[in-house]
Amino acid sequence: MNDRIKNILEWIYCILIAVVIAILIKYFIGTPTIVKQTSMWPTLEQNDRLILNRLPRTFGKMPERGDIITFEAPSNNATGLNASDIDNPVAKYDNEPTSWWGKFTYHVLEIGKESYIKRVIALPGEHVELKDGKVYINGEELDEPYLKDDVITEPTGVLRDFVVPENTIFAMGDNREGSKDCRAFGCIPLERVESKVVIRFWPLNKFGKVDWKVRK
């Protein structure tokens, strides 16, 4: 083997290693993303650039109320829940790939995968009521300082008075009138939660940690 071929093979090897490392970092640690919709306005605006933390998913940490997360878009995001689903209001995922290559490209490379950015509102086992334009958790009105003063939270589907099933979370966008969220398609299984939003790096005048929390 001459030196030229050897050098080419070494370059190919280095490139492959770099690609593998990049994929591992993106899947297990974190990745950048761009806000494509206005459902989290005014907290996040369209075209904001964010850094997502995927360590909570890697280590199986439960999201906290108030966290801004990303999750895989349900397959029933267009049709929503039916009245028959009210006793188990969980979002449906019927588009799971069957082959190992399909699972790899969909879940790891995220080719053809759509994700939503929303805020965690309620946790497993909590009783949620959407009434009088407000959110109630276990009978107490939820304080939401991140919302605009005139925001009214109305049901957009069959979910009005329900209990969040085990191993799921209930999430909504801060722009309640312009958000397609769990009110329509149901609670999100924890295994479908992808990451937590931690830093906004663009625009530069808004650079910093995204850490709005619900006041106790």
Condensed to tens digits (0 to 9), the pLDDT of residues 117-152 reads: 999 999 999 999 999 999 999 999 999 999 988 899
What residues are paired with 116 via a beta bridge? 71
Q: What is the pLDDT of residue 39?
A: 96
User: How far is 53 from 150, CA to CA, in rounded Å?
Assistant: 31
- Percent of the chain surpassing pLDDT 70: 97
| The overall pTM is greater than 0.85 | yes
pLDDT, greater one: 150 or 194: 194
Structure tokens at 76: 């029933």
Q: Would you say 110 and 186 are in contact if contact means Cβ atoms under 8 Å apart?
A: no
Q: Is residue 214 predicted with pLDDT exceeding 70?
A: no
Q: What is the pLDDT of residue 95?
A: 81
User: How far is 92 from 40, CA to CA, in rounded Å?
Assistant: 22
User: How far is 6 from 51, CA to CA, in rounded Å?
Assistant: 38
What residues are paired with 118 via a beta bridge? 69
Total length of the chain: 216
Alpha helix (H) residue ranges in 69-164: 100-103
Q: What confidence tier does 3 reach under pLDDT thresholds 50, 70, 90?
A: confident
Structure tokens at 174: 């801060």
Q: Is residue 87 predicted with pLDDT exceeding 80?
A: yes
The residue to which tokens 């939660």 are assigned:
193
Q: Is residue 191 predicted with pLDDT exceeding 90?
A: yes
The domain spans of the chain are: 32-209
- CATH class given for the domain over 32-209: mainly beta
* Arithmetic mean of pLDDT, 96-124: 94
Per-residue pLDDT tens digits for 51-85: 999 999 999 999 999 999 999 999 988 778 887 78
- What average pLDDT is seen over the chain? 92
Q: What is the pLDDT of residue 29?
A: 96
Helix, strand, or coil (residue 142): coil
